[in-house]
Structure 1
Amino acid sequence: MTTPDKPPAKPIPPGARGSWRDAFAVYLQRRVLIVLLLGFSSGLPLALSGSTLLVWMRESGVDLGTIGLFALVGTPYTLKFLWAPLADAMHVPLLTRKFGRRRGWLLFSQALLIIAILLLALTDPARSPLLVALGALLVAATSSTQDIVVDAFRVESLPESEQAAGMASYVAAYRIGLLVSTAGALFLVSGFESTGIPRGEAWMWGYVVMAAMVLIGTMTALIATEPERSVRAEAATSTEAAFSRVLHAAIGAFSEFLGRKDAWAALVFVVLFKFTDAFSGTMTAPFVIDLGFTRNDYAAIVKGVGLAATLIGGFAGGFVARRYSLAASLWIGGVLQAVANLSFSWLALSGVSQWALAFAITAENFTSAIGTVIFVAYLSALCRNPLHTATQYALLTALAAVGRTYLSSGAGYVAKAVGWPLFFAICMLVAIPSLILLIWLQRRGHFEELGPVKV
């Protein structure tokens, strides 16, 4: 099946004043703003089944080994490509007809996400870790479904010339959403406790507030417009039966991608590039608590210094990707995010110091944001066909989540065996395989075949 032809030039938005450049600027700002808000919506749920949940479990007395195994609840992030063809091809009753293919799925997945977070809020880690695991699994499943649609919406709604602002804004907002569900949630829990609410109930209400914040994404989906590429792709397959559309979306996405030169090597690289971040990130929150920092110490530094470092790092990543080739940018991001792990080794050796914690959190957030922007640019460059955008991007991001979900599941046992300083040194060393593979892909001409990535 061929990709639909390109549409005619988009008219100037009604009501825009001044020159056509001013009108285009207004239109661009609206589209980038939509992408930014959807980035926040995607980043918000991740920590609720990850690092924030791990702090709740640690405070409830759950041992480090069990906490490490909870990385496995992120399995839906690695398997989401299996149901991504549904988002490419299936209609959500009522919602798709009224709001379009992408927006209908956005509203549907966000409604399910709110329900899942509320169910997790009702669990108790001290009494039933199994129920907590099931609740976290539901949050991860609905969150990953939202990610499938948001990623497709972002790739399809922004043309190549606007990807710079779009990617930088998306990644920065994603990290802000992540910080809100970590530092923001921890502050909320402490605030509820200070009013006399028992700790267990304080955690419950903290999660209830996080569920309410998903409505930001819901409002964004309502005011957004359906991407034209999605509309054209929908029109091209409108005469097909539902099962046929799903089958074509699944088979076409995989066959088109795997038919490329060095496709398997590229997929392995996608798995490994962010593994250094994932391995250390799994244990960062328990590490800080074990050093003797309070929940509020961690939250204040993450929300303040960490937020600033994330924003600066996100736009620094956009600058790097614009200034250098994609391969060179991946080198810069890969090395920086690996070396940043040594700041936590230094923190473990220096003792309880808020300045040392601030430095470590700053280094981690800044370098991770740079690496993420560049990595998103690479993943976006790999997705070329609007008929398969959701499925292909879901496959790539699912593979990227393998490191966070499976390869990092033993991080707690490694930290327990070697101690914190050596653990974070190991986190740096696990980046070496991805850098070796990066050399191999460069020599094979992989990045030249992708063409210039205008970011």
Structure 2
Amino acid sequence: MSTTDKARVPRSGIVGGTFALLSALYFAQGLPFGFFTQALPVVLRRSGYSLVAISASGVLFAPWALKFLWAPYVDRYGSRRRWLLSVQLGAAAVALILACLDLTSGLQWLFVGVAVVNVLSATQDVVTDGLAVRLLDARDRGVGNGIQLGAYRIGMIVGGGVLLWLFSFAGWRALFVAMAVLIVASTIPVLLLRTQLDRADVRPAESTTAVRLAGTWWVRLRRPGVLAFIGLIAAYKFGNSMGSALVGPFLSDLGLSLGQIALLEGGVASGAALAGAALGAWYATRFGRRRALLVAGITQTLALGLYVAAALDIGGIALVVTASVSEHVFGGAATVVLFALMMDASERVYAGTDYTLIACAVVFSQGIAGLAAGVVGQAFGYAAMFGTGLVLSGLGCALLLWALNKGIGPVQLSDSGVMAPDRG
């Protein structure tokens, strides 16, 4: 398509098509991730694995923390369309292979499949996040990130709830066939919406060798304010991630059945996260990033207090449901605002690399938080684990807001108006 032809496409059509494309792609990410992070821990707990062992299985998600290593290659080589078709269909193929294996006698091949799907999904995430940064301007990012988290959560609802329910009576084979079909279906917009994908094929003007490209992430990391910003993002998410890491095993240990857990975590709670995503998108657009970060940070922290009470056997199942809904609503709102802030900090030409670097900080933070949750929960109980997450969540929120008020972070945040001038 020529530049003139692109100019003739109405902006509403471009933005609407972009939202549709991003919705399908983020759904495709959430689908396997929801099963592997929400349903699988429950299955492992029922199989006799300890909390520490369940937490340690998070090493299978290392590609999500390491994707910054190959993000520069994704930015530089190949078209967005080719990348997406390759990784989407590859993930569907792995799901079909798992459907053909006998997983009843051991889970080693399941763990291999989880690792491979995570490599493919992490690569898809680099491409998709780059698309979002390049195709959405500042006024669209609040809504765009609401759609991002909403579609991702719907995928997690299906993966962590519906597929767990399917597994409970139909077994592994039906589960993975269904997963493969859904991933293929989510690839259809990649075939249809070529205009959006062509517009996102933007590369640096300079010629870059493969050797130099390998160090691009290091150059981007060393930009003024980036390291500090990454640390702040990680701190903001750490406490909440720790508090929510072992909710599935907590519910299992309370005596809830697989069907009840699937309904609560895959249905009620994830539905609440969708409401939280919409709330965060609206609030950030209406009142700005900094105020939204403050309100969402405080409320997601207070929601963890309900889990502390539930772990102390206060309030019964009603409080457990209230805690789950509250944490997902306010945690979802905080995540939307945080993702918009991360897009603000990324440069368009290096969109995939910049956003991926920052996103990896969130993954590192969540991985360490999950392991810490397992250690603290195993040693001191669920109440201590939830309480520690509450305290750290509050501290992380305060630290991020203080830093933005002092003007700490990449220069792009100043352009978006999210940082106050340095007051010394």
The Cα of 1:407 is off from its aligned counterpart by: 3.6
Contact 2:142 2:337 in 1 (8 A): no
Paired residue type of 2:124 = Q
Shift of 1:285: 0.5
Does the 8 Å contact 1:36/1:169 carry over to 2?
Answer: yes
Which amino acid in structure 2 is aligned with residue 223 of structure 1? L
- Alignment of structure 1 residues 237-316 onto 2, 5 Å: 240=207, 244-247=208-211, 249-260=213-224, 262-316=225-279
**Counterpart-to-counterpart distance in 2, 1:249 and 1:58:** 43
Match of 2:367 in 1: 405
Change (3 A) 1:358 1:9: farther
Contact 1:338 1:431 in 2 (8 A): yes
Which aligned pairs between 1:346-385 and structure 2 lie closer than 5 A? 346-350=309-313, 353-385=316-348
Once residues 352 and 128 of structure 1 are traced to their aligned partners in structure 2, the CA distance between those partners, rounded to angstroms, is 39
Following the alignment from structure 2 to structure 1, what is the Cα–Cα distance between the partners of residues 252 and 122?
28
Secondary structure, in 3 states, of the residue corresponding to 1:62?
coil
**Range that drifts further, 251-260 or 62-71:** 251-260
Q: 1:292 to 1:169 in 2, by over 3 A?
A: same
Distance in 2, matches of 1:405 and 1:126, equals: 28
| 1:207 lines up with 2:176 in the alignment | yes
| Structure 1 residue 70 displacement after superposition | 1.0
> Is the 8 Å Cα contact of residues 110 and 214 (structure 1) preserved in structure 2?
yes
- Would the alpha carbon gap of residues 422 and 401 (structure 1) be closer, same or farther in structure 2, given more than 3 Å must change? same
Query: 1:440: how far off?
Result: 4.3
Inter-CA distance 245–175: structure 2 relative to 1 (3 Å threshold): farther
Distance (Å, rounded) in 1 between the aligned partners of 2:233 and 2:410: 17
- The amino acid of 2:25's aligned partner reads L
How far residue 299 of structure 1 moved from its aligned partner, in angstroms, is: 1.4
Deviation at 1:31, TM superposition (A): 2.2
1:178 to 1:61, Cα distance in 2 relative to 1, 3 A = same
Q: CA deviation at 1:365?
A: 1.1
Distance 1:364-1:117 versus aligned 2 partners, 3 A rule: farther
* SS at 2:367 equivalent: helix
AA paired with 2:21? I
Report deviation, 1:164: 3.1
Instruction: Please give the per-residue CA displacement for 1:380-400, whole angstroms capped at 9, x wherever unaligned.
Output: 0111132x2111111111111
CA deviation map 1:138-167 (0-9, x unaligned): 222221111111111122222333323322
Equivalent position amino acid for 1:157 in 2? L
Structure 2: give runs of 5+ residues left out of the alignment. 419-424
Rounded to whole Å, the distance in 2 between the matches of 1:122 and 1:405 is: 30
Query: Conserved in 1, the CA contact under 8 Å of 2:217 and 2:357?
Result: no
Counterpart residue number, 2:421? none
Percent identity (aligned):
25
**Which among 380, 387, 407 is matched to residue 418 of structure 1?**
380
Residues 73 and 405 in structure 1, CA contact (< 8 A), matched pair in contact too: no
Q: What does the per-residue CA deviation read over 1:69-109, in whole Å, with 9 as the maximum and x for residues that have no partner?
A: 11222111111100112211223xxxxxxxxx111111111
Aligned length: 414
Equivalent positions of 1:324-343 (< 5 A) are 324-343=287-306
Under a length normalisation based on structure 2, what TM-score does the superposition of the two structures give? Answer: 0.88
Q: Show the counterpart of 1:78.
A: 65
* Structure-2 separation of matches of 1:60 and 1:395: 36
- Give, in angstroms, the shift of residue 112 of structure 1: 2.2
Instruction: Name the counterpart of 1:323.
Output: 286
Q: 8 Å contact 1:283–1:412 — kept in the other structure?
A: yes
445-454 or 322-331, which deviates more: 445-454
Match among 33, 40, 58 for residue 46 of structure 1: 33
- Structure 2 CA distance for partners of 1:8 and 1:443, relative to 1, 3 Å: farther
SS in structure 1 at match of 2:65: helix
C-alpha separation between the residues in 1 aligned to 2:376 and 2:190? 42
Helix, strand or coil at the partner of 2:334:
helix
TM-score by length of 1: 0.82
Q: In structure 2, what is the Cα distance between the partners aligned to 1:276 and 1:174?
A: 21
For residue 257 of structure 1, report the CA deviation from its aligned partner: 4.7
Instruction: Check whether the contact 2:220–2:354 (CA below 8 A) recurs between aligned residues.
Output: no
Q: CA deviation at 1:369?
A: 0.8
1:116–1:396 Cα change, 3 Å? farther
1:385 aligned counterpart, secondary structure? coil
